[in-house]
Amino acid sequence: KRRPAHDPLIVHIHDVAQLALLAIDIPPIAHDLAQAFWAGPLTLVLKRGAHVPSSIASGLDTVAIRMPAHPVARALLQATGFPIAAPSANTFTRPSATTAAHVLEDLDGRIDLVLDGGPAPIGLESTVVDLTQTPPVVLRPGGLLLNDLRRILPDIQLNPKYMPMNGQSTSASPGMLMKHYSPRAHLTLFDGPLEVVLVAMTDSAQRLIANGKRVGILAIEEEASTFTETGARIISLGRRDDLAQIGRVLFGGMRALDAQGVDAILIRSFGQEGLGAAIWDRLLRAAEGRVTHVR
């Protein structure tokens, strides 16, 4: 993966009882969250126990733990009988792999085996909650929504971290770097009133193409026809009202445009409510913070 040592790994378990092997001073709320949301897209950051090597946690005194819901992942964990510390199956900073083909795209020849469990059902990474802080903090929004967490943790705060690539500080969880989930093409994120954004994206595409650049646009079905005459390559992410579908295919869309050899990818924000917060987070990191705000 070419993953740096300062980016910690998530430890995956198949049984809540394994928490006691990995963490110490586990607060009761951790068990409440586990009962409500595990197995599922929730990672808990807890105080690291002695059985977890320092290298797994990048030298921190905390450990990130998750219980995946996918039957193939659970079968693997049950077959080993041990927790498994593992990263996502992609080259570091590339868009996450959501199919076995994506894994081979990045890692063929550098890994021994791919267990193909089919396309990822959510397509976005887990929500990371740091329970070592008071009040608890969402470090990375993901597949579990903030409003669902607030049923158990009314005072939980959303405070995602965006750390520089050249920094030496260690993040408490994977997915904290400003450059992450990035396609090879230069991705620009547009934000603002919808009609103004669509005009700005059209103008940007036409300008880039006039300068000899190959342009790709990730668009929703209702808006794709807006860009037809620009000459850009367009990939549909699904319908406007289906953020779950947009999340499922987002990384695949980035990879598909990379495969077509585009130089630039344009995409708009889908808001920051519900799953939109996780999509915004991934797009902001994929764009390395490049946001064109229009009004």
226 and 149 share one domain: no
Rg over alpha carbons for the chain, rounded to the nearest Å, is 20
86, 113 in Cβ contact below 8 A? no
What is the spatial distance between Cα 14 and Cα 130, in angstroms, rounded to a whole number? 20
148 and 17 part of one domain? yes
| pTM reported for the whole predicted model | 0.93
Contact 47, 25 (CB under 8 A): yes
pLDDT of residue 174: 67
How do beta strands 157-158 and 186-191 pair? unpaired
Residue 170 located in a structural domain: no
Please tell me the distance from the alpha carbon of residue 198 to that of residue 224, in angstroms, as a whole number. 10
Q: What pLDDT score does 6 carry?
A: 79
46 bridge partner residues: 63
User: What pLDDT does residue 162 have?
Assistant: 74
Clarify whether residues 208 and 257 are in a common domain.
yes
pLDDT at 180: 84
Between CA 71 and CA 68 the distance in angstroms is 8
**What is residue 176's predicted lDDT score, i.e. its pLDDT?**
63
Residue 152: which CATH number? 3.90.870.10
Residue 93 lies in a domain: no
Query: Dihedrals φ, ψ of 39, to 5°?
Result: -75, 140
Q: Residue 217: which domain range? A: 186-293
Q: How many domains does the chain have?
A: 2
In a shared domain, residues 136 and 217: no
Pair (33, 138) in one structural domain: yes
Q: Is 78 contained in some domain?
A: yes
190 and 262 co-located in one domain? yes
- Residue 119 near residue 96 (C-beta atoms within 8 A): no
Tell me how crowded residue 250 is: count the other CB atoms within 10 A of its CB: 26
Q: What is the C-alpha to C-alpha distance for residues 63 and 33, in angstroms, rounded to an integer?
A: 16
Domain assignment of residue 117, yes or no: no
In a domain, 228, yes or no: yes
Q: Which of 187, 162, 166 is nearest to 175 (CA)?
A: 162
Residues of the chain with pLDDT under 50: none
Residue 227 and residue 146 share a domain? no
